[in-house]
Each structure stands twice: as structure tokens, then as C-alpha cells.
């Protein structure tokens, strides 16, 4: 079959045992729903999948279980003629007009070939839209297809992380003001509450965050059904707009997982690497899963890259010492215990070799003058020490990838309240001359979003840098005492906001500081029925950690995830975090969604 569900994808899915709230429920729910869809269709079946959805669908169902439910063949949805011996065609697609045209073409072609007995089922992920139905009508195939929805909301990627996997969510929310993904966020939060109980306390910052909170409260009012008396398992919800802090994703992430994403791109919890690096068949790329099942990766993922060397050495020594112990085992019992642990150590040994190879690749890239100069420039801009403009001009002259240039320009603009008119016009002209006139749309998108603008008014950044302690000097990367270690001394503003949600007092105190940032800051309470309050009170007498669900609307970086996980340690383990997002982002893929493909602009490989 021609699609991307390699075995690695299901073999390496996270085990979810360590999470404060068992997130695997979502996976099971989606899986059951998908299998019901397949079982409702009797006879031989072909599954036609929107290529963009193969990752998310691969997270909930593997090729084997699809076969067990009668799928004889799986193909990607592509325009053109479709041949199928099977009588039933089941389409799983996102609601895009282009997809509807493809399906219409398939239906028309198969009918013209005398396929009278063929049945067509179109399932929208996650909801159908009127415009899509209208396209099927105008194409004359609406009456020939059965239409349904497959609600794939939050996909668990790890013990503490779920994602809606809406790639274009930042663009949709903040550039196009299209509320679709906000509706998905609100709906997924309602689903969470139906499983884990009502979340009493909601705090948020940003326009989209406010809209989501309003939608949630409205949906709950409109649900006339008696709510199940569930003891709430989540105490607080924190909603944060990506747009509130666009500085963080423009910087290079400096945790191990963050750097893997910056250099190779993590997609659907896996990274694609050449075989010899991950101890598979060399000469071609293979997918390697990245999650907490791999104990070595789980220990390395949130570390600052600079302390990986000592970690790897210590781990190698520990494994070596265990292997050498084999001579000391005397009794049968001792030998049995030794062998039991041996398989764990062998697994760790294999993974340590893989991560050592990946770390060496990253290290090699980090030593290049190009990379070092970029990091240095970022640091200077963030600290307000010098401008990036000279280096950006140099990058344009060298015809460096457009996304690298845009990332630095946006960083310069955001930290200086824009560029001076002369510089602004100069760089616009340079970009269009060097990279092509089609980038005029991208520049206009960046301007509309306030990411790359002409200077006017007061610069708010120096004030924020001081009051939010965004720069932390002399941070100990090996034993950090602050979240800023994830960017080697720069604290993600977004996670400083999360930090302030630890108490109502802190949240009130940060109000003036956050005022200049886009969108309102708010706090809402949701009433919890009396009977449950008593149950909750009994349980919360020191017996359970507070659980905070942090939802990033528009995407989150892996370095921010590491910083939120570190808050747990900083708060003496009193608060557990679950992290939810519309997508995983870094500066490149975030800006990549703002590049409009005129002709076929290949932004993916830059």
C-alpha cells in the first residue's frame, strides 16, 4: 500500500502510564469510532485517505487492524482516474474543496465504467462543511455518496501531550480570522470535560483564548443534558494564544528534542533519518519514533544540548558496568535477576547508540560558522545589544533559505517595534529581487499579522524583557533553576505566563505587565455541583497534585513543552501539567504556512 503508516508508527507509540490523567482514552475513543465506520460497510472495501491525515490516522489505527476490519487496499486521495475492484470506497478526508473535486472525479469515472454497484462513503475529519457538500452537488455526485463525520480530536503523542494536529491553525486564527480551529479547540475541551469532569478554573491570555473560553461556556450552557457527576480530575485550564508570543518560536530551540525538530523536522511523533544512523538498512530513510517508551530519549529530550555529552558518557558507563557484573552472579536466583534486567539494558544500549549518532549529527551542524552566527545574532537581538540587519543582508546576498531570513527579520521587528522605514523598504526590495516577486504576498501576510512592520509608537519589548525576566544571566544548564535553560538563558514569554497561573494572586499581579501584549487577560470560574464539591474536597486533602491543562492555540514548540515540564520541578512537584496544542511548531514551519504557493513554491524543503 502506498501510504505512510510504517510499522514504527504503532510499535513506537507512547505507553501513557506516567500521565496524571490517562490520556489514552482519546486514542481508544477515536479507534473505536473508526472501526465502527469500517464495520458498517458490508463487503470488500478500499480506504482512500487524504495524505495530510495519514499521520494522525496512523496514530490511532495501524495497517493490521484496518485489514482485520475488511480493508483490502489503502491509497492516498489523488486527482485523476481511480480503479477499484472492490465494491465499496471509503474516503477519509479533511473538508477541503480540492478534495471534493478529486472525489467527484473518482465517482464520475467509476460510474462511467459501469460501476453501478459501487458504493461511495465520504467521512469528513473532523466535521463536514456546507461548501464541501455544495461542491459535490454542483459536480452532480452528491446523491451517489453517503456522508458522515469521523471526529478525530485530540491525539495523544505522549504521557502528557495531546495535539489536534491542525497544521494551518496559526494562519487560520490570526491571519484569516477563520474560527474553525477555535471551534475544534472548544469542542475538544468539552470532550475532555465529559471524560475528566468540569474544569473549575480557567485563565487565559489573547483574543483566540477569550473566544475559546466563551465558546466553551456557551456550549456547556446549551448542553441541556444532566452532566454526569464526575469528580474533576483537572483543576485549572490555561489558554494561550500563539500570537501573544511570536518571539519564542523565532529563536532556535536548544533542547535535544527541539534541535531534532529544528534540523530534521518531527512529524507525528517520528523523525525521518538515514538508516545507518538509526541502526536500520542504510542508504534510505526510515521513520524513528520519539516518545517516552524509549527511556534514554525520555531522559535526554528536555536537556539543553550542551549537557548531552556528559549524560551520554555517564549512561554508557552505567550500561558497561552492568554488563561486567555478569561474572559476579553466583546463585541461580542472582543469575535469573541479572538476566531479567539485562534485556532492559540491551534495549537502552541500542537506543543510546542511536541517540549518540543523532546528537553527533546535530553537534556537527551546530559547529558550522553559519549556525553559530545565527545563534549569536539571535542572542544579541533578544538582549537588545545589537541589530540583526547587517547579518540578514549578508544572508540574503548568500541566498540563504528564505525561511532563515524571514525568521531573523521577524525577530528583529518584534523586539524593536518594527524596522525603521528606510530599512523596511530596503529589505522588502531585497527579498523580492533575490527570492522572487511572489513573496510580495508573504510580506503582506507578515505585515497584517504585525510580525514584520514599519516602526511606529513605543517599543514595548525592553519593558517586557525586564518585568518578565526574559533574559537570565549565568544560568546553570546542567542543574537549571529556571525555565530559561531551554533557550540557553532566554525564557519563553509564553511559559512565563503559564508560570504566573500558579496562584490567583500571581495572575492578578502580572496583569499590568501583560497589558501591552495582544488580546485580553481573563479568569473564569465554572460552577461545580455541590455533591461533587464534597467528593473533591475529600480527595484533595494533600492526596493528589493539582493538575493544570495548558492549551496553546496556534501551536507550541518542543522547547516550550520542556519548559512547562520543568515548571513541575520548580514548583516542587505540586502541580502536574498536561499540554495540549493545535499543532507542534517551530519558526520554519510556522512561517512556512504564511508563504502562499504561487505556482509551486517548494517551502517544505528549505
The residues facing 145 across adjacent strands are 120
Q: Of 521, 563, 570, 478, give the one whose Cα is nearest residue 251.
A: 563
What pLDDT shows up at residue 542? 53
For residues 20 and 254, which has the higher predicted lDDT (pLDDT)? 254
Rounded to whole angstroms, the Cα distance separating 262 from 253 reads 7
Query: Is the confidence at residue 241, as pLDDT, over 90?
Result: yes
In order of their start, the domains of the chain are 7-152 (3.40.50.2060), 164-245+476-590 (3.40.50.1910), 256-365 (3.90.830.10), 370-416+418-457 (1.25.40.850)
Q: Cβ(548)–Cβ(577) under 8 Å?
A: yes
Write the DSSP string, 254-288. Answer: -BHHHHHHHHH-EETTEEEEETTTTTS-TTSEEEE
Largest CA distance in the chain: 81
For residues 128 and 441, which has the higher predicted lDDT (pLDDT)? 441
pLDDT tens for 318-352 read 998 888 888 787 788 888 888 888 888 888 999 99
Range 76-101 average pLDDT? 92
Question: What contacts 521, CB < 8 A, 6 or more positions away?
Answer: 204, 205, 510, 511, 514, 515
What pLDDT shows up at residue 291? 86
Rounded to whole angstroms, the Cα distance separating 396 from 401 reads 8
Rounded to whole angstroms, the Cα distance separating 166 from 52 reads 10
Query: Is the confidence at residue 2, as pLDDT, over 60?
Result: no
Q: Cβ(410)–Cβ(246) under 8 Å?
A: yes
What pLDDT shows up at residue 223? 76
Q: Cβ(59)–Cβ(86) under 8 Å?
A: no
- Within 10 A of 413 (CB to CB), how many other CB atoms are there? 26
Rounded to whole angstroms, the Cα distance separating 163 from 165 reads 5
Please state which of the ranges 270-274, 454-458, 600-604 shows the lowest mean pLDDT. Answer: 600-604
Query: Is the confidence at residue 187, as pLDDT, over 70?
Result: yes
Global model pTM greater than 0.85? yes
pLDDT-above-70 percentage for the chain = 92
Query: Is the confidence at residue 196, as pLDDT, over 50?
Result: yes
- Within 10 A of 380 (CB to CB), how many other CB atoms are there? 14
Query: Is the confidence at residue 451, as pLDDT, over 60?
Result: yes
Rounded to whole angstroms, the Cα distance separating 472 from 481 reads 10
What pLDDT shows up at residue 11? 42
Range 375-379 average pLDDT? 97
What's the number of CA atoms in the CB half-sphere (13 Å) around residue 213?
A: 28
pLDDT tens for 129-152 read 899 999 999 999 999 999 999 988
Grid coordinates given for 86: 472492490
The continuous run of DSSP H or E covering 146 comes out as strand 145-149
Three-class secondary structure of residue 381 per DSSP: helix
What pLDDT shows up at residue 18? 57
Q: Of 597, 491, 480, 501, give the one whose Cα is nearest residue 549.
A: 501
Mean pLDDT for the chain overall? 89
What pLDDT shows up at residue 130? 92
- On the question of a cis peptide bond just before residue 126, with omega within 30 degrees of 0, the verdict is yes
What pLDDT shows up at residue 280? 85
Angle value at C-alpha 323, between 319 and 329, nearest 5 degrees: 135
Grid coordinates given for 329: 552472579
Which residue has 553559519 as its cell numbers?
370
Range 267-292 average pLDDT? 86
What pLDDT shows up at residue 6? 38
Band of residue 276 on the pLDDT scale cut at 50, 70, 90: confident
Q: Cβ(262)–Cβ(375) under 8 Å?
A: no
Which residue has 491553525 as its cell numbers?
169
Range 241-260 average pLDDT? 98
Query: Is the confidence at residue 23, as pLDDT, over 60?
Result: yes
Rounded to whole angstroms, the Cα distance separating 198 from 227 reads 9
Range 227-237 average pLDDT? 83
pLDDT tens for 148-175 read 999 888 888 888 999 998 888 999 999 9
Range 32-42 average pLDDT? 94
Q: Of 128, 131, 110, give the one whose Cα is nearest residue 119.
A: 110
What pLDDT shows up at residue 4? 38
Amino acid at each position: 500500500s502506498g501510504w505512510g503508516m510504517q510499522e514504527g508508527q504503532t510499535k513506537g507509540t507512547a505507553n501513557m502510564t506516567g500521565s496524571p490523567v490517562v490520556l489514552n482514552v482519546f486514542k481508544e475513543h477515536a479507534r473505536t469510532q473508526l472501526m465502527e465506520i469500517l464495520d458498517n460497510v458490508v463487503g470488500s472495501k478500499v480506504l482512500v485517505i487524504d495524505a495530510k491525515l495519514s499521520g494522525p490516522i496512523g496514530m490511532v489505527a495501524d495497517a493490521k487492524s484496518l485489514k482485520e476490519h475488511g480493508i483490502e487496499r489503502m491509497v492516498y486521495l489523488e486527482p485523476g482516474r481511480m480503479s477499484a475492484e472492490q465494491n465499496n470506497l471509503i474516503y477519509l478526508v479533511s473538508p477541503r474543496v480540492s478534495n471534493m473535486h478529486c472525489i467527484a472525479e473518482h465517482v464520475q469515472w467509476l460510474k462511467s465504467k459501469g460501476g453501478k454497484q459501487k458504493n461511495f462513503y465520504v467521512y469528513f475529519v473532523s466535521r463536514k462543511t456546507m461548501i464541501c457538500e455544495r461542491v459535490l452537488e454542483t459536480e452532480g455526485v452528491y446523491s451517489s455518496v453517503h456522508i458522515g463525520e469521523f471526529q478525530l480530536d485530540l491525539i495523544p503523542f505522549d504521557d502528557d501531550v495531546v495535539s489536534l494536529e491542525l497544521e494551518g491553525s496559526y494562519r487560520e486564527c490570526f491571519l484569516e480570522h477563520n474560527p474553525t480551529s477555535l471551534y475544534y479547540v472548544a469542542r475538544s475541551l468539552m470532550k475532555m470535560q465529559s471524560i475528566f469532569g468540569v474544569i473549575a478554573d480557567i485563565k487565559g491570555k489573547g483574543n483566540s483564548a477569550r473566544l475559546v473560553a466563551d465558546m466553551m461556556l456557551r456550549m456547556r450552557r446549551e448542553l441541556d443534558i444532566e452532566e454526569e457527576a464526575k469528580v474533576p480530575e483537572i483543576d485549572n485550564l490555561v489558554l494561550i494564544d500563539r500570537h501573544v508570543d511570536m518571539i519564542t518560536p523565532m529563536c532556535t530551540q536548544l533542547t535535544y528534542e527541539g534541535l531534532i525538530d529544528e534540523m530534521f523536522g518531527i512529524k507525528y511523533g517520528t523523525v525521518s533519518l538515514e538508516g545507518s544512523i538509526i541502526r536500520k538498512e542504510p542508504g534510505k530513510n526510515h521513520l524513528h519514533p520519539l516518545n517516552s517508551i524509549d527511556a534514554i530519549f525520555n531522559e535526554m529530550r528536555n536537556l539543553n544540548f550542551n549537557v548531552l555529552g556528559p549524560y551520554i558518557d555517564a549512561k554508557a558507563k552505567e550500561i558497561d558496568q552492568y554488563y561486567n557484573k555478569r561474572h559476579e552472579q553466583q546463585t541461580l536466583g542472582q543469575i535469573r535477576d541479572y538476566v531479567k534486567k539485562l534485556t532492559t539494558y540491551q534495549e537502552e544500549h541500542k537506543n543510546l547508540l542511536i541517540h549518540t549518532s543523532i546528537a553527533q549529527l546535530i553537534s556537527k551542524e551546530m559547529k558550522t560558522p553559519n549556525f553559530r552566527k545565527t545563534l549569536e545574532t539571535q542572542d544579541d537581538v533578544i538582549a537588545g545589544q545589537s541589530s540583526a540587519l547587517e547579518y540578514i543582508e549578508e544572508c540574503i546576498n548568500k541566498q540563504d533559505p528564505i525561511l532563515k531570513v524571514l525568521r531573523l527579520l521577524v525577530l528583529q521587528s518584534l523586539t524593536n517595534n518594527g524596522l525603521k522605514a528606510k530599512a523596511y523598504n530596503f529589505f522588502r526590495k531585497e527579498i523580492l529581487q533575490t527570492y522572487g516577486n511572489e513573496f510580495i504576498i508573504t510580506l503582506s501576510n507578515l505585515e497584517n499579522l504585525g510580525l514584520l512592520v514599519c516602526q511606529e509608537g513605543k517599543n514595548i519589548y525592553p519593558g517586557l524583557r525586564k518585568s518578565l525576566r526574559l533574559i537570565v544571566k549565568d544560568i546553570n544548564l546542567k542543574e537549571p533553576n529556571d525555565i530559561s535553560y531551554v533557550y540557553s538563558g532566554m525564557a519563553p514569554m509564553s511559559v512565563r505566563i503559564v508560570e504566573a497561573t500558579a496562584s490567583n494572586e500571581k495572575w492578578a499581579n502580572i496583569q499590568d505587565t501583560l497589558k501591552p501584549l495582544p488580546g485580553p487577560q481573563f479568569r473564569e470560574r465554572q460552577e461545580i455541583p455541590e455533591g461533587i464539591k464534597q467528593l473533591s474536597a475529600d480527595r484533595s486533602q494533600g492526596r493528589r497534585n493539582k493538575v493544570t491543562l495548558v492549551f496553546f492555540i496556534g501551536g507550541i514548540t518542543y522547547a516550550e513543552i520542556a519548559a512547562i515540564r520543568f515548571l513541575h520541578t520548580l514548583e516542587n512537584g505540586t502541580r502536574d501539567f498536561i499540554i495540549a496544542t493545535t499543532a507542534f511548531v517551530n519558526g520554519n514551519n510556522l512561517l512556512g504556512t504564511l508563504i502562499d504557493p504561487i505556482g509551486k513554491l517548494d517551502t517544505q524543503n528549505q
